[in-house]
Structure formats: structure tokens, C-alpha cells
């Protein structure tokens, strides 16, 4: 089984924005902010499960999610789910 955990690093860079009144010269183009996200994947560890449970049991997030457990705060159901998923040889986990 291969598992992954995502780590995101966010930085902001200045880039020219599109301005129809800029006159076509680079110096007259106003700058806007663009956020660049870098994601690094690593193996999912047992220690990650506490964070996953906290994220999955957030009631607001669960209300926006397409698929959840009937009771997102049920730790036993969470443990049983991840035990099944992690014991499946072909499973790939993203955290």
C-alpha cells in the first residue's frame, strides 16, 4: 500500500495584471498578487490519523463535503474505516 500526505507551501508573487488602459507597455501595467502553492507528497503515517480525524469531524467542513460518515465525530467508525482502507493493498491515501 502506498500512502501520501500533502504538505503545502504558499508564497505570493507579483505579476502584471491585465489592464485595457495600460497602453501596452510593461511599465504602465499595474501589478496584482498571485498565490503559488507548492505541494509535497509523503507517506501517510499513523500519527496523521489524529489530524485526519480532526479535519473530518469538523461539523462545518462535514456539512460541505460530498461524502461523510453518518456521524463525523464517531472515532470508532473513523478508525474502522481507515483500518479497512489501509489494509487494502491497492489503496492510495491522500491526507
Query: Could you read off the pLDDT of 27-40 as tens digits, one per residue?
Result: 555 567 778 888 88
Q: What is the pLDDT of residue 45?
A: 82
Instruction: Provide the mean pLDDT of the chain.
Output: 74
Integer Cα distance of 80 and 63 in angstroms: 21
Task: Over range 58-74, report the average pLDDT.
Answer: 89
Integer Cα distance of 85 and 75 in angstroms: 15
Is pTM, for the whole model, over 0.85? no
What are the backbone dihedrals phi and psi of residue 51, each rounded to the nearest 5 degrees, phi first?
-65, -45
Strands in 1-81 per DSSP E: 2-16, 31-42
Grid cell 479497512 is found at 84
Q: Is the pLDDT of residue 80 over 80?
A: yes
Amino acid at each position: 500500500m502506498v500512502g501520501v500526505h500533502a504538505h503545502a507551501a504558499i508564497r505570493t508573487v507579483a505579476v502584471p495584471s491585465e489592464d485595457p488602459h495600460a497602453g501596452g507597455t510593461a511599465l504602465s501595467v499595474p501589478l496584482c498578487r498571485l498565490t503559488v502553492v507548492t505541494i509535497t507528497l509523503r507517506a501517510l503515517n499513523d500519527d496523521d490519523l489524529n489530524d485526519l480525524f480532526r479535519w473530518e469531524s469538523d461539523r462545518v467542513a462535514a456539512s460541505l463535503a460530498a461524502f461523510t460518515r453518518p456521524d463525523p465525530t464517531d472515532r470508532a467508525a473513523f478508525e474502522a474505516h481507515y483500518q479497512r482502507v489501509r489494509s487494502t493493498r491497492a489503496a492510495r491515501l491522500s491526507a
